[in-house]
Amino acid sequence: MARGFLTTHVLDTARGVPAAGMHIDLYQVHGETRRHLRSMVTNHDGRTDSPILPAEEFAPGSYELVFHAGDYLDATGAAPEAPRFLDVIPIRFGISQGDSHYHVPLLISPFSYSTYRGS
């Protein structure tokens, strides 16, 4: 049985603060088909209150985190654009080790983002 889990941490690099209140969706991906697993919102520290994919549901495969950056940026008062340069940010990644902690952070500003496999 898999014992790993999936977490994230969203940081607003333009303001130098955690990205509190960002909506995130998690999908499991099979080819061109996505299955929605859950929706969460980041807390005051830019993290979710529980793992996005807890140990009891964790399994190797392809997944996609969808970060609703445009709504977050609108809520922070970032200069408005129509349409926003960054609105919805999908990050598709693979989980190959069923017993590992996968951490997929997002660093966001109104005009750029980056991610990596964290620890």
The model carries a pTM of 0.94
Strand partners, 95: 61
* Domain residue extents for the chain: 5-115
Fold of 5-115: Immunoglobulin-like (2.60.40)
pLDDT tens for 1-20 read 557 899 999 999 999 999 99
pLDDT tens for 35-90 read 999 999 999 999 999 999 998 999 999 999 999 999 999 999 999 899 999 999 99
What are the φ/ψ torsions at residue 55 (nearest 5 degrees)? -55, -40
Instruction: Please choose, from the candidates 15, 11, 72, the residue with its C-alpha nearest in 3D space to the C-alpha of residue 45.
Output: 11
In this prediction, residue 4 carries a pLDDT of: 86
In this prediction, residue 2 carries a pLDDT of: 57
CA 8, 9, 15 angle in degrees (round to 5)? 155
